[in-house]
Amino acid sequence: IILSVLPADFNVAVIIVTHTASDGGNYLPALLNKICALPVKEAIERESVLPGQVYLAPPNYHLLIESEYVFSLSIDERVCYVRPSIDVLFSSAADVYGPCLIGVILTGANNDGEKGLEAVKLAGGYCFVQDPDEAYAATMPTAASPFADIILPAKQLAQELVSFCRTMMKQKHDV
């Protein structure tokens, strides 16, 4: 739902971690390109993070952001039983982007994302969480809820995200 709401002129980098099988092919970019106005691709080692692009963490790799605003891939131990881990991405992104970072937690069956969203919050970033009552699996949004600035159903969350980013970009240009 979130990606289908993003407009073609959404000038923000979107980075997605999904808990997928490590041995299967990654069909997700092709599938998501059909519903998203922004280009969707799998992140590549040392690739620059660019606005207006949707990046997916590759299966079986942790995705990190380095200080030069480039991606790094890691096969370090699983976190919360998964690789890629949302906690790993959010923690590294919080170090790099600080208060300019927005973390979003959607449906999920473990608590991956809880510590990462806490890192986003501690860095001054903004935290969106899907309403656990409407999530397919409520464990992740429930665990992340204490750090949320806003909790909404997914469709409203997507609309609020677009509105929030546009407001932030306007304020940035007005300064």
Q: How confident is the model at residue 170 (pLDDT cuts 50, 70, 90)?
A: confident
What's the pLDDT at 175?
Answer: 52
Supply the pLDDT for residue 72.
98
| Residue 174: pLDDT over 90 | no
Q: What pLDDT does 173 receive?
A: 61
What mean pLDDT, rounded, does the chain reach?
93
Using the predicted structure, report yes or no on whether residue 22 has a pLDDT greater than 70: no
Whole-prediction pTM value?
A: 0.94
Number of C-beta neighbours around residue 174 at 10 A: 6
Q: What is the pLDDT of residue 27?
A: 84
- Average the pLDDT over 133-147 and give the result: 96
Q: Are 109 and 82 in contact (CB under 8 A)?
A: no
Question: Given this model, what pLDDT does residue 19 score?
Answer: 85
Task: Give the pLDDT mean for 89-106.
Answer: 97
Encode the chain in three state secondary structure: CHHHHCCCCCCCCEEECCCCCCCCCCCHHHHHHCCCCCCEEECCCCCECCCCCEEECCCCCEEEECCCCEEEEECCCCECCECCCHHHHHHHHHHHHHHHCEEEECCCCCCCCHHHHHHHHHCCCEEEEECHHHCCCCHHHHHHHHHCCEEECHHHHHHHHHHHHHHHHHHHHHC
pLDDT digits (tens, 9 = 90+) for 30-89: 999 999 999 999 999 999 999 999 999 999 999 999 999 999 999 999 999 999 999 999
pLDDT of residue 149: 97
